[in-house]
């Protein structure tokens, strides 16, 4: 298992972690298998989506913020209920196939760490498992 450290700068943001995940896969020596990503935080997430056009990240974050506003009649007293809900909706884990020693992503796909309660220092755990 490897751990990627992520420093976020905004309350909400999506950070491209493709290079760090690819480095973890290379370091594992696994040629073909699965790469498991897990975010051990209740106000953050991980997802795979288009990374070529930065407007996609903006659209995703703006839509999440519109659907799940920061200020609402939440019961949780810490003031970050929206972040907990966004983490639940997006999810704290992803599985990416590994082929020929690299994450097998589509042409436009990028692995994103999603911050919903930043800025903070965060972690993403990466486990690579061989299938051959």
pLDDT tens digits along 45-58: 999 999 999 999 99
pLDDT tens digits along 12-67: 999 999 999 999 999 999 999 999 999 999 999 999 999 999 999 999 999 999 99
The pTM of the full predicted model, rounded to 2 decimals, is 0.96
User: What does the chain come to in residues?
Assistant: 132
**Is 118 in contact with 63 (CB distance < 8 Å)?**
no
Residue 107 structural domain? 2-130
How much is the mean pLDDT over the chain? Answer: 97
The tally of domains found in the chain comes to 1
Residue 41 sits in a domain whose CATH number is 2.60.120.460
Q: Taking residues 106-118, what's their average pLDDT?
A: 97
How sure is the predictor about 132, in pLDDT bands with cuts at 50, 70 and 90? low
């Amino acid at each position: 298992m490897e751990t990627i450290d992520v420093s976020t700068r905004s309350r909400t943001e999506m950070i491209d972690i493709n290079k760090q995940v690819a480095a973890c896969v290379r370091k594992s020596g696994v040629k073909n298998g699965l790469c498991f990503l897990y975010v051990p935080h209740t106000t953050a997430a991980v997802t795979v989506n288009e990374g070529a056009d930065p407007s996609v990240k903006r659209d995703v974050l703006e839509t999440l913020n519109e659907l799940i506003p920061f200020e609402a009649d939440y019961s949780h007293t810490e003031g970050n209920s929206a972040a907990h809900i966004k983490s639940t909706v997006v999810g704290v884990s992803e599985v990416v196939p590994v082929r020929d020693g690299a994450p097998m992503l589509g042409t436009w796909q990028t692995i994103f760490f999603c911050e919903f309660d930043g800025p903070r220092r965060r972690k993403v755990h990466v486990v690579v498992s061989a299938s051959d």
